[in-house]
Amino acid sequence: QAHTEGGHWGRDAIKIALLDRICSPKLDATILTVIKDCPKCKNFGPTHIHSLLEPITRRHPFELLVGDYLSLPKGTNGYSTLGVYLDVFSQHVWVFKHKSAGSAKTTVEGLAQIFNGFINPETFMLDGGKHFNNEAGTNKLLLHILKRLCAPSLGEDEPQPASWKNLPATWPKHLDSAVHALNNRLLPALKFSPKELLLGLIVNTKPTPLEESSSVLRPTDALTQIAYVEQQRLDCYEETV
Q: What is the pLDDT of residue 136?
A: 44
User: Quick one: 36 and 85 in the same domain?
Assistant: no
Single residue among 12, 28, 53 that ends a domain in this structure: 53
Query: Nearest Cα to 114, choosing from 176, 57, 178, 65?
Result: 65
User: Quick one: 92 and 42 in the same domain?
Assistant: no
Chain centroid, CA 226 distance in Å: 24
User: Quick one: 149 and 39 in the same domain?
Assistant: no
Residue 96 has pLDDT above 90, yes or no: yes
pLDDT > 90 in the chain, percent: 13
Whether residue 163 is contained in a domain is answered as: yes
CATH number at residue 148: 3.30.420.10
Dihedral angle sign, alpha carbons of residues 193, 196, 202, 205: negative
Whether residue 233 is contained in a domain is answered as: no
Residue 72 has pLDDT above 50, yes or no: yes
User: Quick one: 49 and 72 in the same domain?
Assistant: no
How many domains would you assign to the chain? Answer: 2
Say which range, 61-65, 95-99, 230-234, has the weakest mean pLDDT. Answer: 230-234
Whether residue 92 is contained in a domain is answered as: yes
Neighbours of 176 (CB within 10 A): 12
User: Quick one: 153 and 75 in the same domain?
Assistant: yes
Burial of 141 (0-12, 13-18, 19+ CB in 10 A): middle
User: Quick one: 120 and 140 in the same domain?
Assistant: yes
What is the chain's mean pLDDT, rounded? Answer: 76
Q: Name 19's Cβ contacts closer than 8 Å, sequence gap at least 6.
A: 188
User: Quick one: 88 and 120 in the same domain?
Assistant: yes
User: Quick one: 112 and 152 in the same domain?
Assistant: yes
User: Quick one: 136 and 99 in the same domain?
Assistant: yes
Across the range 155-179, mean pLDDT stands at 73
Angle between helices 27-37 and 11-18 (to 10 degrees): 130
**Full residue range of the structural domain in which residue 178 is found:** 65-183
Q: What is the pLDDT of residue 104?
A: 84
Could you give the maximum distance between any two Cα atoms of the chain, in Å?
64
Confidence of residue 8 (pLDDT cuts 50, 70, 90): low
Confidence of residue 240 (pLDDT cuts 50, 70, 90): low
Q: What is the pLDDT of residue 97?
A: 92
Could you report the per-residue pLDDT of 123-158, keeping only the tens digit for each? 888 764 443 443 445 566 676 676 767 766 655 544
Whether residue 190 is contained in a domain is answered as: no
Q: What is the pLDDT of residue 124?
A: 87
Whether residue 239 is contained in a domain is answered as: no
Q: What is the pLDDT of residue 55?
A: 56
